[in-house]
Amino acid sequence: MASRLHRVARSGRCESRTREGRTTSRVRRRLACVTVLSLSALLVACQTMEEVSRIYLRATPEGRKLLAKWDRYAELADVLKKYHDDGDLGERDVLAVLKAAGVVPARAAGRPGAPGPPPPEAAQLAAGRNAWGWPLKAGVVSSEYGRRAARPHHGIDIAADTGEPIYAAAAGDVIYSDNKMSGYGNVIILKHDDKTTSLYAHARRLGVRRGQRVARGAPIADVGSTGRSTGPHLHFEIRVADAAVNPRSVLPKSRF
């Protein structure tokens, strides 16, 4: 009797285990199915977002012009990618301007090439991700932030047509609008808080003067090729004190 009970108990456990096994594999199959469907939906959504932005832009004449520009730049990307800085830009000159504006402590300025503090995290920037916008409405990134030919590149180069408006990436005060910095050509520096600045170089024309206050998105200059440059482009920097930050870590995601 004891052994019969034992057998029944054991077979009950087996049945229960088999049922659990079936249930588990059914759940796994459903999970896999849901995952595949979710990934497909995400892919479709991404394409749809691009389409939605295109539909939105097609609704106005300005939007249609911008779309046409995006498409033309995409076709000319191989040519535009040849337009960037031509050699070193005057790091010492930038630090002198930032020091004069009180953005860089006196002891940190005037030592170009010296190891500085590590670049701050994007989250540390006072303006915050939502407060920044791209300085051009269309273009092709021809040189990323980082090292270029074994030298540091403190900004990002965006090639575009000569004369295209350059916009303030965030609200700020103009602390420099001139052409006396080595290699930068016509350049503007905006101060956004007591330590954050942005810089716009190689402009054909400067549209604001030192001391002016500008809103985010205000036109401040035109794209050009002044200074050390291989063709029309904007060299754009964001700094916290003297440390350059990768603009892509601060700006919203962009199609260029």
Which phi and psi angles does 152 have, rounded to 5°?
Answer: -70, 140
Alpha helices (H) along the chain: 2-58, 61-75, 77-80, 91-100
Piece of 25-33, 157-165, 178-186, 212-220 that binds Zn ion (CB under 5 A):
157-165
Which DSSP category does 85 fall into?
B
Taking the complex as a whole, how short is the minimal distance between the CB of residue 147 and Zn ion, in angstroms? 12
Give the chain's radius of gyration (CA, Å): 28
Applying CB under 5 A, among 90, 127, 139, 157 the residue interacting with Zn ion is 157
Applying CB under 5 A, among 90, 139, 155, 224 the residue interacting with Zn ion is 155
In the block, tokens 């670049």 appear at 119
Piece of 148-156, 158-166, 181-189, 246-254 that binds Zn ion (CB under 5 A):
148-156
Residue nearest to Zn ion (CB): 235
**Residues 6 or more apart from 97 whose CB is under 8 A from it?**
175, 176, 181, 189
85 binds Zn ion (CB under 5 A): yes
Residues 193-252 that bind Zn ion (CB under 5 A): 235
Question: Nearer to Zn ion by C-beta: 12 or 87?
Answer: 87
Rounded CA-CA distance 198/112 in Å is: 18
Taking the complex as a whole, how short is the minimal distance between the CB of residue 247 and Zn ion, in angstroms? 11
Taking the complex as a whole, how short is the minimal distance between the CB of residue 42 and Zn ion, in angstroms? 34
Rounded CA-CA distance 164/220 in Å is: 11
> Which residues are near Zn ion by CB under 5 A?
85, 155, 157, 235
